[in-house]
Structure 1
């Protein structure tokens, strides 16, 4: 809802809503539309009494797999939903640092389409789970499996990355 409202209000730049053809879980119960207007926000917070192990950044259909990872491996991970990188970067430095602190070196991004924009967050020591090429055809399930982006592969790759 927040993204729709912002696109409707936008006067100085173009807007696009990218919609999925596949079924996706509905995340509204986990968030509110005002949070989306920050364009990057914590959708699953870590236990603040323990050291933060990693941050997973995802958007759209990738948010649910990120939440499943957090619930499955239970390593005190923060999950960040980032509907728009460019607009998140227009937020104050303090807000950006609150959501994705620079001192956290274990940053993971999950992006089922082009992954280039996420490297600014994961850096040299992070983990990028995404697609860096084009031209595959087939069902969504077949392509996701080929690219090792099905849920079990994501869990296994992140578990190996975290070293546990």
Structure 2
């Protein structure tokens, strides 16, 4: 039974890595579930753009004391292209990711029970921005939890993501670190 389970898990892992992990919002779980040499990611972010603009997802790992980013990009039905960046060869990677720590915390607004929510801005072009981290701090205490945000154009996560993708543009390579 142990060998059978190992084979099934290996096939499942290969399927996750082979999947076009950023084709639509339905693929967000696959992006977060990607593995690097069997290692789980510490975070991920993605922008699902409206129209014929490319959709981009990035899965984040730590390996051998370096940050590793795996980017999956696709455009309206084309095959997904996978590229890599490492903090060892891309000096912009660590500072770009460190800026995640400066995002303002989300505030939960309970309908009809809590504070009166502000009227949300309407998204400019219908793009969706996702950020997920495995280990986030809750308030100013040591308690941790997973954090996942979905945001729209012009929001702090969207602005961070667009800036990070611009900064990392020269870093991407097909060579896996």
TM-score > 0.5 by shorter chain: no
Higher helix share: 1
Tell me the TM-score normalised to structure 2 length: 0.27
Larger radius of gyration: 2
Tell me the TM-score normalised to structure 1 length: 0.29
